[in-house]
Amino acid sequence: MEYIDAFYNALINILPFTNQGQQAFFFMLVGIFIGFWVGILPGLGGAATLALMLPFIYKMDPTSAFAFLLGSNAVTATTGDITSILFGVPGEGTTASTIVDGHPMAKKGEAGRALGAALMSSLVGAIFGAFVLALAIPIAAPLVLSIGSPEFFMLALLAITFVGSLSGGNIVKGLMAGGLGLMISTIGLDPIRGVPRFTFEGILGLGPSIFLWDGIALVAVTVGLFAIPEIIDLAIKGTSIAREQVGKLGGVMEGVKDTFRHWWLVLKCSALGAYVGILPGVGGGTAQWVAYAYAVQSSPNKERFGKGAVEGVLGPGAANNSTRGGDLITTVAFGIPSSVSTAILFGAFLIQGIVPGPDMLNPAKHLTLTFSFVWIIIVANIITVAACFLFLKPLAKITNIRGSLLIPFLLVLIYLGGFTVKNSFGDMIMVLLFGALGWLMVQFDWQRPPLLVGLVLGTITERNFWISTRAYGFDWLTHPGVLIIAVFIVGAIVYSIRQILREKRKPPSTVTEAAAPEPDTAMLMSPVYRPIFALFFVGLFIYVLRETFFEIRPMEERAALFPIALGIPCLALALWAFGQELFHVLRRPTCAANPGETALSLEPAVVRRRAFSIVAWILGFFLAIWLLGFPVAVPTACFLYFRFAGGEKWPISIFLSLTAGAVFYGLFDYFLHLPFPEGIIFQLLGN
């Protein structure tokens, strides 16, 4: 009965029938509006959008905060199908598979039918995934309550292992990236004894080192790691987002009927998406291709796929959205993010002072909030699909927007997201540092999601490790639950190795070749630098162990326990990765992509020039904000970019710059009353 009451109250709390519901519903609409455009416009993914929105939830109540975040995240896969079908350009990485049959349908004059099928199957998938989440809560509750600190520590390692080994790419690099995220989480005051760790006091001096006592902000890392590489890539391409014109959009209702004609396929693919979403480290990127492969294999007419089969649109459409409900299960019940988006949502839990796990399933604590996630996903997708059906033609025209018109606004959001965490320019510097790291990781083929998951889980992992060793010594390593989870960790690594070896032995399949999306990121760095980048991590972990043994351990031995336990295997992984990269370069120096090769086949000199230009503008925006302050720098820097980097005409540059300044002042200064300091120049003039 308590679960039924919580389920009902959760619905009331997000609908505009009460004061609480009105506020949550309003913020959900705002989130839907933001996610709507993010899904339509390629260049900024749903995960990066969540990261940019995190700073704005500090003053919200938990229901409103998650209505805002889940509202924006729940709709990006739905609206991303629009650009995938009309232009063959995925609005989201999780909608790339829709291109395979959706875009050929558009070329054959069946764009409306493809869009109708994608939107309706997405709605069915979203509702299916939400109810999977609802049904899983009563089942998960007793299981979660029986888990202790040793098992939670091992579950955290399992999450990082899954993300590192199953999210694609090199296993050693993925695991090392996860370890790096855990290590970054140890920067600041030790949570057990309050001992400063890795604050670089000898290098930076006392003042900047005190800034690091609070640790590295999750928002700054996430924004830098994911958003800045996307902006660099968008600037390098230098084209309008859509390079084809949209034809007539008839036959939408025929696509809706297709969803119900193939209802069994839609339900099966929804179930596949929910199941894949539950698996940590797999996520929507895999779910879409699993569903597409199932749609092909289950069809008696396989030759139609890749040429405009509506089933090739229905399967991925359903799976993409059902994944959103599935991947929340492990996050809410076990505190294990199963994707980049849920890792960022995990950070939102911490911002709200809520720890995912048993409390989320307790009727006396946060069960109503947990059930509100179910209703937010359902209501947000119903609103989004209805809006898409009403505005399909105008939405198609929006995708012709030039990338140069987006970049200044994105840069403002990036720096604003970093600054508002602690109202500090130091976090903006962190955005730049992790932006550089994220871009280099893309260039040298290192996975970024494991780093983020490691950072998110770091504090909880260390706390459970400390409690386990404090309570049981090292006998906890022999607990049955710990051993079972250890078997899963080893199994994930072995499975990933077997999959890699199997892929190397067989030629690419026809489906894989047809479905493979074009590369998104320009390759600028020569393969020769790959070992040097790996050597950077070797040096980093040597420094970590040196600081731990000679600086931290003499002050407090317990504060050094986790860094030692983490640093030694991470150093071994870094050395292994360095050896792999060195062998790769020495034996096969020409196997990597040529520098400057992009999806647009640009000349290397053009790619380098555009890359250096956008990096200079990214730094220039930071410099303008530091010298002039946000209110003055926003319109000024935007105008300079529009006029001189984007080559826009004077009237457009002036209008857009004044609009950016007015929106910034009205929303963040006047409405939200965020305290922005004066720029250095004005401070000097005032003195």
- Number of domains present in the structure of the chain: 2
Q: Which two tokens stand for residue 302?
A: 């396989």
Residues 382 and 265 in one domain: yes
Closest CA to 114 of 396, 399, 378: 396
The pLDDT score that the predictor gives to residue 549 is 93
For residue 53, name the pLDDT band (cuts at 50, 70, 90).
Answer: confident
- Of 133 and 638, the one with more pLDDT: 638
In a domain, 534, yes or no: no
Residues 303 and 399 in one domain: yes
For residue 145, name the pLDDT band (cuts at 50, 70, 90).
Answer: low
Residues 78 and 170 in one domain: yes
Q: Which of 524, 556, 579 is the last residue of a domain?
A: 524
- Segment 424-433 shows an average pLDDT of 90
The amino acid at 642? F
Residues 102 and 89: their CA atoms lie apart, in Å, by: 11
Total length of the chain = 687
The pLDDT score that the predictor gives to residue 242 is 40
- Of 601 and 220, the one with more pLDDT: 220
In a domain, 546, yes or no: no
Q: Which of 501, 524, 547 is the last residue of a domain?
A: 524
In a domain, 589, yes or no: no
Q: Which of 505, 524, 543 is the last residue of a domain?
A: 524
Element (H, E) at 197: strand 196-197
Element (H, E) at 67: helix 62-74
Residue 266 has pLDDT above 90, yes or no: yes
Residues 116 and 246 in one domain: yes
For residue 281, name the pLDDT band (cuts at 50, 70, 90).
Answer: low
* 647, 661 Cβ separation under 8 angstroms: no
* 256, 302 Cβ separation under 8 angstroms: no
Residue 140 has pLDDT above 80, yes or no: no
Residue 211 has pLDDT above 50, yes or no: yes
Range of the domain at 662: 604-686
Closest CA to 65 of 350, 309, 406: 350
In a domain, 592, yes or no: no
- Of 547 and 456, the one with more pLDDT: 547
**What does the DSSP assignment read for 511-537?**
HHHHHPPPP-S---S-GGGHHHHHHHH
The pLDDT score that the predictor gives to residue 214 is 86
Residues 356 and 348: their CA atoms lie apart, in Å, by: 10
Which of 81-90, 303-312, 338-347, 368-377 reaches the highest mean pLDDT?
368-377
Q: Which two tokens stand for residue 102?
A: 């959706």
The pLDDT score that the predictor gives to residue 503 is 67
Least confident of 84-93, 217-226, 229-238, 480-489: 84-93
In a domain, 188, yes or no: yes
Residues 498 and 352 in one domain: yes
- Of 401 and 212, the one with more pLDDT: 212
In a domain, 625, yes or no: yes
The pLDDT score that the predictor gives to residue 50 is 80
For residue 452, name the pLDDT band (cuts at 50, 70, 90).
Answer: confident
For residue 44, name the pLDDT band (cuts at 50, 70, 90).
Answer: low
In a domain, 530, yes or no: no
Residues 261 and 164 in one domain: yes
Residue 517 has pLDDT above 60, yes or no: no
Least confident of 86-95, 132-141, 159-168, 626-635: 86-95
The pLDDT score that the predictor gives to residue 513 is 37
The pLDDT score that the predictor gives to residue 507 is 59
Residues 658 and 518 in one domain: no
Residues 88 and 97: their CA atoms lie apart, in Å, by: 10
Residue 95 has pLDDT above 80, yes or no: no
In a domain, 597, yes or no: no
- Segment 641-661 shows an average pLDDT of 93
Residue 622 has pLDDT above 90, yes or no: yes
For residue 642, name the pLDDT band (cuts at 50, 70, 90).
Answer: very high
Residues 340 and 355: their CA atoms lie apart, in Å, by: 18
The pLDDT score that the predictor gives to residue 636 is 96
The pLDDT score that the predictor gives to residue 400 is 56
Give the predicted TM-score (pTM) of the model. Answer: 0.72
Residues 486 and 251: their CA atoms lie apart, in Å, by: 53
For residue 641, name the pLDDT band (cuts at 50, 70, 90).
Answer: very high
Which of 261-275, 391-405, 611-625 reaches the highest mean pLDDT?
611-625
Paired sense of beta strands 196-197 and 188-189, if any: antiparallel
Residue 518 has pLDDT above 50, yes or no: no
Least confident of 16-20, 370-374, 644-648, 654-658: 16-20
Residue 662 has pLDDT above 80, yes or no: yes
The pLDDT score that the predictor gives to residue 453 is 77
**Collapsing DSSP states into helix, strand and coil, what is residue 240?**
strand
Alpha carbons within 13 A on the beta-carbon side of 98: 38
For residue 143, name the pLDDT band (cuts at 50, 70, 90).
Answer: low
Residues 253 and 398 in one domain: yes
Least confident of 53-57, 150-154, 263-267: 53-57
Q: What is the pLDDT of residues 568-612, one digit of tens each?
A: 999 999 999 999 999 888 876 544 444 444 445 567 788 888 899
Q: Which two tokens stand for residue 260?
A: 């119900």
Task: Please give the DSSP secondary-structure letter assigned to residue 189.
Answer: E
Closest CA to 218 of 397, 459, 9, 577: 459
Average pLDDT of the chain?
81
